[in-house]
Amino acid sequence: MRRLLQIGAVASVTAVLAVVLAWRYGETLLPFAVTSAAPDPQDGKVAGGVYTNAYFDLSYPLPRGFGEGLAGPDPSDSGYYVLGNFVPQAAPSGTILVTAQDTFFAGPHRDVAVAAKEFRESISQVEGMSIDREPAEMTIGNRLAWRIDFSGVGLYRAMVSAEMRCHLVSITFTAPDPQARETLASSLNHVSLAAGRDPPVCIRNYAAGDQLIRKVAPTDMAPSPMPIPARIIIGSDGAVRHVHVIRATEGQRKTIEQALRQWTFKPHTVNGRAVEVETGLALRSGGAITSID
Amino acid sequence: MAKRTFAYACSLTSLTAILVASVALPSLAPAQGRGPTDPGVRGGAAGAGNPITGLTAEEGAFFNAAKDVFEETETVADGLGPRFNLDSCVGCHAQPSSGGSSPPVNPQVAVATAQGAKNTVPAFITANGPVREVRFVRNPDGSPDGGVHALFVTTGRSDAPGCNITQPNFAAAVAANNAVFRIPTPTFGLGLVEAVTDTALQASMAANSQQKRALGISGRFNRNGNDGTITRFGWKAQNKSLLIFSGEAYNVEMGVTNELFPQEREENTGCATNALPESPTPVVPNDLAATSPAAGFQSDAVLFAAFMRLLAPPTPAGATPAVAAAAAPSSTSTSSTSTVVASASSVLPAAAGTTSTAATSSSTSATTSTVARGQQVFTNIGCSACHTRSLTSGKSSTAALTNVTFQPYSDFAVHDMGDGLADGVSQGAAGGREFRTAPLWGVGQRIFFMHDGRTKDLNVAIAQHASRGSEANQVVQNYNALAATDRQAVLNFLRSL
């Protein structure tokens, strides 16, 4: 009995200590967090008629009868993703395209409102295109989003965009008539953006600043005329705990991942608490970081 | 000069996958009624083949001399072989005129046995099929290959005594799904393309980035590994310049060594008997000097490049050929911008609803208005996000190429075209699924489409843009969702170019 009490006491102290450390330094100090595999933006899937994306904590029940269409391309050099292409499995009634643009790699940062207005200006210049609904605020999953409707040559489209983890996530509906467009767009009422845990704080160009303590250049990296984009998640202890090489050959990807996992940073704090940071960087041969501004 | 067969390859497996996907996904099926019909190759006079307007007398003479060389047939004494795909540039680049793409009758069938040769014609080369080059995806040990394996050998030719080499086993390569094909790209207007600055290409790419965002399109430029600048010629935009393009094709397609590619690809001593390079720069003017004194001192590769550089862009049906291009032949640039090709909205299209036999003349069934509508639809559904209509050249040492706005209908970027078009060949930054946006100017008078010439039907060509992993999937879905009349208008518009 005494032995059991001792074990229980040790366990309790350990648990309290773990909670305190986790609060102070973030959860990455905990062994299970260190070894956990973090999802990447392209890792969404459809099951039971619901599209889920763990990276964005997004859950989207598709309209009835919709399923996966042809998969899109691999992520681009500029961090653009086709996350999903959803089509009706029976009679044609429209399509749904879900995309994401990594805002770290898309020029100077603009918020979603500005992006929506820029899109409106651009699309209005397309020959034969009409703006059916000016950009307007809405919410999807309790998150601010902007919607714009436009049409031309018998296709009625709506695009809804929201910012998530420094990505501009867009859902574009294309339908044969305005009513069908509205029906498709109403499916967003069922989107949930789970609050399982706070995502890392995303900070632009964090790796290019004074926060970088230790840098290891990729070895034997095949020359690339273009910078290779990557995202990293830095734990609250300053160690790199996840690397996502967005677009590269397999050989480049391997050596970059090996190198970046050895980088260390000063811990980033918010209100005195160490937190995880997610940032993007563009690598050239030899490991030089190219500014992504 | 050799044909520049641009091969593209597609496996039967890939084709099957596309067909299955098309059937399995109702949203990709045409929205209503019978599908539209490719009007077929636009008849009438060739809308291409002349020099660009505004050349000086000396430049015009240079073009004429270069054209003569482009149309020459090479012999073994000239450097042909020991391995080759054809014996002239114009044999491949023939439709609708010198400098174009694959002609209706494939000259590779005849050249296989010319001059006493005993070559076997591979099954993928047919009399009425496209001119093709073949690449092997992998080496026997499984490592990446991607190189061109010439179809024919000079063995048995009367001008190659003592040569005794054999053709590769193409049947085995095809059976192993290891052979991919490319057809010749048209070369009209390429001087203008060469004269576009990288900045202008990047600006053009950025200009419609918002539209691309709603279509699932990204794309990127292929770049030269040495200087980092944008490469823009070839099916994967793998070639930096027209000169490199010429020199490489001369060696790879015809086996003629030159100062850009001075080694034989086949060094069998019984076959490779000429001094190298076989096409050097003459230090004593040759007979071309009678046409152009400058041409008399140029190597063939330089002249091939000059011919392509000075070729006018294709003229759309009904448009005035090559208007107003830098009329003043001054070497100084002008601040104004010229326009080389009239708008396609003013053209008379080919016959809608006819079969696609070559050279059927245009009818009046498709009107100017349907072409204009087709252009609008083409833009609206997103085709023009990649097949960008206009570019403007920069300051060129050839005045006629300076500050000219032209309509190639390409962004000259490479895009992921998915598994259905993938050839598994990487060139520069372009991977196995990536291809340059094919310029659509002159498509109205082309016979074969896609990198491997897999179809003569534009409607099929559009469908082939969609497959797993393709950036074009949403645009093809948009096309399929159109009314039949609008899909027909798109085809009519394309055949007007």
Residue A293 has pLDDT above 70, yes or no: no
How large is the ipTM? 0.86
Write the CA distances from B173 to A156, B149, B455, integer angstroms. Answer: 47, 11, 22
Query: Are B380 and A122 an interchain contact pair (Cβ–Cβ within 8 Å)?
Result: no
Instruction: Search chain A and give the residue with CA nearest B223.
Output: A225
| Whether residue A214 sits in one domain with residue A260 | yes
Mean pLDDT of chain B: 88
Considering A152, A176, A193, which residue would you say is the last residue of a domain?
A193
B223 has a pLDDT exceeding 80: yes
Distance CA A166, CA A109 (A): 9
The domain that holds A109 is classified in CATH as 3.40.1000.10
Q: Of the candidates A126, A159, A193, which is a domain's last residue? A: A193
Query: In A176-218, where do the E strands start and end?
Result: 192-193, 201-202, 212-214
Q: Which residue of B has its CA nearest to A106?
A: B209
pLDDT at A288: 66
Which one of B228, B433, B468 has the shortest CB-CB distance to A70? B468
CATH number at residue A261: 3.30.2420
- Other C-beta atoms closer than 10 Å to the C-beta of B309 total 28
Residue A28 lies in a domain: no
Q: Cβ contact (<8 Å) for B219 and A76?
A: yes
Residue B324: its pLDDT value, please? 33
Q: Could A70 and B470 be called an inter-chain contact, meaning their C-beta atoms sit closer than 8 Å?
A: yes
Looking only at the bridges linking them, the beta strands covering B391-392 and B179-182 are unpaired
Residue A13 lies in a domain: no
- Is the per-residue pLDDT at B28 higher than 70? no
pLDDT band for position A131 (50/70/90)?
Answer: very high
Is the Cβ pair A123, B214 closer than 8 Å?
yes
Pick the residue of B19, B213, B468 with the most A CBs within 10 A to test the interface with A by mutation: B213
**Residues in CB range of B196: below 8 A, 6 or more apart:** B232, B391, B392, B393, B394, B412
Angle at A58 between CA A228 and CA A254, to 5 degrees: 25
DSSP bridge partners of A112: none
Question: Does residue A53 fall inside a structural domain?
Answer: yes
CB distance A148 to A159 below 8 Å: yes
**Beta-sheet pairing, B404-406 with B338-339:** parallel
Structure tokens at B352: 């809608």
Closest CA in chain A for residue B226: A225
- Residue of A70, A130, A173 to mutate, interface with B, max B Cβ within 10 Å: A70
pLDDT band at B19 (very low <50, low <70, confident <90, very high): very low
Question: In a 10 Å sphere around its CB, with 0-12 CB exposed, 13-18 middle and 19+ buried, how is residue B156 labelled?
Answer: middle
Query: Which of the four pLDDT bands, split at 50, 70 and 90, describes residue A287?
Result: low
B45's CB contacts (< 8 A; 6+ apart) are: none
Q: Are residues A116 and A143 in the same domain?
A: yes
Domain tally, chain A: 2
Residue type, B166: T
SS3 A205: coil
Whether A89 and A131 share a structural domain: yes
Q: Which two tokens stand for residue A283?
A: 């690598």
**Which pLDDT score is estimated for B25?**
40
A145 and A51 assigned to the same domain:
yes
Of the residues B27, B231, B376, B433, the best mutation for testing chain A's interface (the one with the most A CB atoms within 10 Å of its CB) is B27
pLDDT value at A15 more than 70: no
- Cα R_g (chain A), whole angstroms: 22
Residue B326 has pLDDT above 50, yes or no: no
Out of B27, B377, B379, closest to residue A95 by CB: B27
Nearest to A73 among B218, B381, B480 (CB): B218
pLDDT tens by residue, A178-197: 999 999 999 999 999 876 66
Amino acid present at A149 = D
In B, which residues are within 8 Å of A224 by CB distance?
429
Chain A residues touching B29 at Cβ < 8 A: 92
In a domain, A258, yes or no: yes
- Give pLDDT tens digits for B30-43: 444 467 999 999 99
Indicate whether this model's pTM tops 0.80.
Answer: yes
Would the CB atoms of B377 and A157 count as touching at under 8 Å? Answer: no
In this structure, the answer to whether residues A187 and A90 fall within a common structural domain is yes
Q: How buried is residue A14: exposed, middle or buried, by Cβ count under 10 Å (0-12/13-18/19+)?
A: exposed
Cα–Cα nearest to B268, from B155, B116, B168: B155
Same domain, A59 and A185: yes
Per residue in A195-220, pLDDT (tens digit) is 666 899 999 999 988 999 999 988 87
Residues A217 and A181 in one domain: no
Contact (Cβ atoms closer than 8 angstroms) between residue A151 and residue A157: yes
Same-domain check for residues A238 and A152 = no
Let me know if residue A284 belongs to a domain: yes
Establish if A19 belongs to a structural domain.
no
- Chain B positions touching A73 (Cβ under 8 A) are 216, 218, 415-416, 418, 433, 469-471
Q: Are residues A187 and A241 in the same domain?
A: no
Size of interface A-B (CB pairs under 8 A): 141
Q: Do B473 and A72 touch (CB under 8 A)?
A: yes
Where do we find the tokens 């011919």? B307
Containing H/E element for B414?
strand B414-416
Q: Do A184 and A257 fall within a single domain?
A: no
Distances (CA, A) of A92 to B2, B25, B29, B490: 48, 9, 8, 21
Do A144 and A186 reside in the same domain of the chain?
yes
Closest Cα in chain A, distance from residue B441 (Å): 19
Test mutation, A153, A161, A246, A247, chain B, max B CBs within 10 A: A153
Element (H, E) at A61: strand A58-61
How far B369 CA lies from chain A's nearest CA (Å)? 14
Alpha carbon of B280: minimum distance to chain A alpha carbons (Å)? 32
Distance of CA B414 to the CA centre of its chain: 14
Handedness of CA A41, A46, A47, A50 (dihedral sign): positive
Q: Is residue A251 in some structural domain? A: yes
Nearest CA in chain A to B420: A70
Mean pLDDT of B408-423: 98
Q: Identify the pLDDT of residue B329.
A: 35
pLDDT digits (tens, 9 = 90+) for A16-34: 444 444 444 333 333 333 3
* Backbone phi, psi, residue B92, to 5°: -95, -40
Question: pLDDT for B336-351, tens place per residue?
Answer: 556 554 444 334 333 3
Alpha carbon B429 to its chain centroid, in Å, reads: 19
Give B384's DSSP letter.
Answer: G
A226 pLDDT above the threshold of 90: no
Whether residue B474 and residue A157 make contact (CB cut-off 8 A), yes or no, is no
Q: Is the dihedral of CA B376, B378, B381, B382 positive or negative?
A: negative
Residues of chain B above pLDDT 70, percent: 84
- Distance to chain A for B384, nearest Cα, Å: 10
Q: Are the Cβ atoms of B213 and A80 closer than 8 angstroms?
A: yes
Spatial contact of B114 and B24, defined as CB atoms under 8 Å apart: no
Q: DSSP letters of B183-246?
A: -PPP-TTHHHHHTS-HHHHHHHHHHTHHHHHTTT---B--B-TTT-PBP-BSTTS-BSSHHHHH
Is B469 close to A71, i.e. CB distance below 8 A?
A: yes
Chain B residues within an 8 Å CB radius of A225 = 223-225, 228, 428-429
Distance CA(A43)–CA(A35), nearest Å, equals 18
pLDDT of B21: 42
**Start-to-end CA span in chain A (Å):** 64
Q: Do A152 and B223 touch (CB under 8 A)?
A: no
Q: Closest partner residue to B466 among A70, A99, A122, by Cβ? A: A70
Last-in-domain residue among A166, A193, A220: A193
CB B400 within 8 A of CB B326: yes
Say whether both A137 and A205 belong to one domain. no
Q: A234 lies in a domain? A: yes
In degrees, rounded to 5, the angle at the alpha carbon of residue A207 between the alpha carbons of residues A206 and A213 is 115
- B211 CB neighbours in chain A (<8 A) are 122-123, 126
- Parent domain of A123: 45-193
Residue B80 or residue B368, greater confidence: B80
